Amino acid sequence: MEQRAFNFSAGPAGLPLPVLEKIQRDLLVYPGAGASVMEISHRSKTFAAIHEQAKSNIKQLLNLPDNYHVLFAQGGATMQFTMIGMNFLQGKSADYIDCGAWAKKAIEEAKKFGTARVCWTGKAENYKRMPKTPDLDLDANAAFVHMTSNETIQGIEFFDEPETGSVPLIADASSDFLSRPIDISKYALLYAGAQKNVGPSGVAVAIIRDDMLERVPAGLPSLLDYRLLQENDSLYNTPPCFAIYVVALTTQWLLDEMGGLAGIEAHNRKKAAILYDAIDQSGGFYVGHAERDSRSLMNVTFVLANKDLEGEFIAQAKAAGLDELKGHRSVGGCRASIYNAMPLAGCEALAQFMRDFQQKHG
């Protein structure tokens, strides 16, 4: 078999090797089912158990209070932008924190359903940091406040939730979901496309508090109605069964092998420190994008001071088995995405490569 590269893809991103091996083992026959997970009814006992496992693992990892529901929806995080507008804006005004590329997309979608009021923007600073609560111009009557907990493209992350008082806080956590412990009780709704940290694309996880479901207006398109989704336990129609199965395996791996969210946070901090140290100790050869206290633990963004070397850096890294280091097409530069599944050895190999490359070209 061909060698697996260290895959720094921003998404869909690498999955834990033990999870892939388990999928491979069970691919033709899932134990007891006589068929693969792709080939059985979503109403079968086998799938019900898989679905239950995915939900209960997420509950356990987040220490989820009983007034929250774990839902699986289709359409990725982008469809959540739409659902939030349809379900909770309804012509009203909500506060959006404009902290980067994904926030902007969420805002553009929300405008179709009401007023998406920008309560802070990092645009003038080229999205180098997350705001603190006092930076925000919050409207006490807003329908909700929307934040992006990790801006995947800019590589900046929130480490303190904004204090929004009685206004519900909604978070797009697509690229840092289940990467460290959070106080979930601060959120009314937290959602994530699975393909960065917890599974393949095709499913989004939405964790929603009871009182939000009461706000959902009648008559929404069925698949875009959070209340209907909850009332049907995410099975109003055929869900993305295989993707949910992988979420069950990935969350089980977090619990059994990585020490839950506290364990994975320690692991993720160590990994990120290796790369940020390599940047900081390069004497300006590599330049990080984010301000220090907003540096993402998931997406490490940087440029080479000598832009002419960037193409060579990315190409040589690829040849050395360090793949997908090109920054997003909208911002350029380099980006190492180091989600939960990236092993420590991948970050060590990249840091060593960075030092070697600098020695040759510095």
Cβ neighbours of residue 114 under 8 Å, at least 6 residues apart?
A: 85, 89, 90, 91, 92, 93, 94, 143
Read off the tokens for 4. Answer: 């697996």
122 contacts ligand PLP (rule: CB under 6 A): no
Amino acid occupying residue 349: A
246 contacts ligand PLP (rule: CB under 6 A): no
Q: Catalytic: 102? A: yes
For residue 12, cis peptide bond before it (omega within 30 degrees of 0): yes
Q: Could you give the angle at which helices 260-280 and 241-257 cross, rounded to 10 degrees?
A: 80
Buried (b) or exposed (e) across 170-189, using 16+ Cβ within 10 A? Answer: bbbbbbbbbbbebebeebbb
Residue 337: CB minimum distance to ligand PLP, A: 9
Select the residue interacting with ligand PLP from 77, 94, 143, 342 (CB under 6 A). Answer: 77
46 contacts ligand PLP (rule: CB under 6 A): no
Select the residue interacting with ligand PLP from 7, 57, 121, 152 (CB under 6 A). Answer: 152
148 contacts ligand PLP (rule: CB under 6 A): yes
Cβ neighbourhood burial of 20 (10 Å; 0-12, 13-18, 19+): middle
- For ligand PLP, the closer CB: 191 or 285: 191
Read off the tokens for 101. Answer: 């590329």
Q: Which of 59, 104, 196, 326 is catalytic?
A: 196
193 contacts ligand PLP (rule: CB under 6 A): yes
Q: Which of 98, 102, 176, 323 is catalytic?
A: 102
164 contacts ligand PLP (rule: CB under 6 A): no
What's the half-sphere exposure (Cβ side, CA atoms, 13 Å) at 118? 13
Residue 172: CB minimum distance to ligand PLP, A: 5
Cβ neighbours of residue 9 under 8 Å, at least 6 residues apart?
A: 323, 324, 337
174 contacts ligand PLP (rule: CB under 6 A): yes
Residue 338: CB minimum distance to ligand PLP, A: 14
Select the residue interacting with ligand PLP from 172, 225, 265, 324 (CB under 6 A). Answer: 172
Whether the CB-CB separation of 342 and 271 falls below 8 Å is answered with yes
CA 79, CA 76: separation in Å to the nearest integer?
6
11 contacts ligand PLP (rule: CB under 6 A): yes
Residue 152: CB minimum distance to ligand PLP, A: 3
155 contacts ligand PLP (rule: CB under 6 A): no
- For ligand PLP, the closer CB: 9 or 148: 148
96 contacts ligand PLP (rule: CB under 6 A): no
Residue nearest to ligand PLP (CB): 76
Task: State CA 201 to chain mean position distance.
Answer: 11
337 contacts ligand PLP (rule: CB under 6 A): no
CA-to-CA separations, 33 to 30, 37, 247, in angstroms, rounded: 5, 8, 19
102 contacts ligand PLP (rule: CB under 6 A): yes
Q: Catalytic: 95? A: no
Residue 301: CB minimum distance to ligand PLP, A: 13
Q: Catalytic: 293? A: no
- From 1-9, 169-177, 326-334, 344-352, give the range in contact with ligand PLP by CB under 6 A: 169-177
Read off the tokens for 356. Answer: 């070697």
Phi/psi for 302 (5° steps) reads -155, 165
- List contacts with ligand PLP (CB under 6 A): 11, 76-78, 102, 148, 152, 172, 174-175, 193, 196
Residues with active-site annotation: 102, 172, 196
